[in-house]
Each structure stands twice: as structure tokens, then as C-alpha cells.
Amino acid sequence: MVAVFPSLITEVSTIEKPSDLVVIPNPASNVAYIHISGPSGSKDEIEITDASGRIVKVPVTLIRDAWYEMDLNSLPTGVYFVIRKGNKVYGVTKFIKL
């Protein structure tokens, strides 16, 4: 039996281009920055997942308009994904933790 879970996303009017959601530097060691160049707003949600899709707890702080800081000290080395949901926009980008 396959479990089906409803999606929390109810409408997506824009899928971001890879250049709209960027992690700098990539690869990163201790700290990385997320830049969103597409439409942004107070309803943005940033999630970090590992390569298997599990959400990992990473401190993400809005440091100024369209720029977020990620503290990567608690993450083991590996491949991760930043997922941005908000304002009817959805984007995903990959980054590597050294």
C-alpha cells in the first residue's frame, strides 16, 4: 500500500529559473548565503533537504531584502537542496556542504 500525502502547495504561478535562487558560495563549509532574485515577500518559506528528501534543521536568517544566511556547521558533508515556497512561486537549487 502506498501512502498519499496532500501537498501544502495549492497554487504555483511561477517556477523559478535556476538563476533566481542561488547559494553562494557553492560548495560551502560553515556559512552560505541564499539570494532570491525573483519576486520575494513576507510569505517566503525556505526549507533545506538532504539528498533523500528529508528536511534538515538549518538556521536560516533573513539578513536583508532577498538575502538569507545559512549556518551549515551542524550539517555533515553532502549534497543538499534549498527549496523556496511563497507568493505563488516555487524554486529548488542544489548545494554541496564540504
Strand partners, 69: 33, 61
What's the distance, CA 10 to chain centroid? 18
Mean pLDDT (whole number) for 69-81:
96
Please check whether residue 97 is in contact with residue 50, taking contact to mean a CB–CB distance below 8 angstroms: no
Residues in CB range of 38: below 8 A, 6 or more apart: 14, 16, 17, 20, 21, 89, 91
Confidence class for position 10, pLDDT limits 50, 70, 90: low
Q: Which CATH superfamily is domain 14-97 in?
A: Immunoglobulins (2.60.40.10)
Residue 5 has pLDDT above 50, yes or no: no
Residue 69 has pLDDT above 80, yes or no: yes
For the entire predicted model, the pTM comes to 0.77
Task: Kindly report, residue by residue over 15-57, the tens digit of the pLDDT.
Answer: 545 558 899 999 999 999 999 876 555 567 899 999 999 999 9
Domain ranges in the chain are 14-97
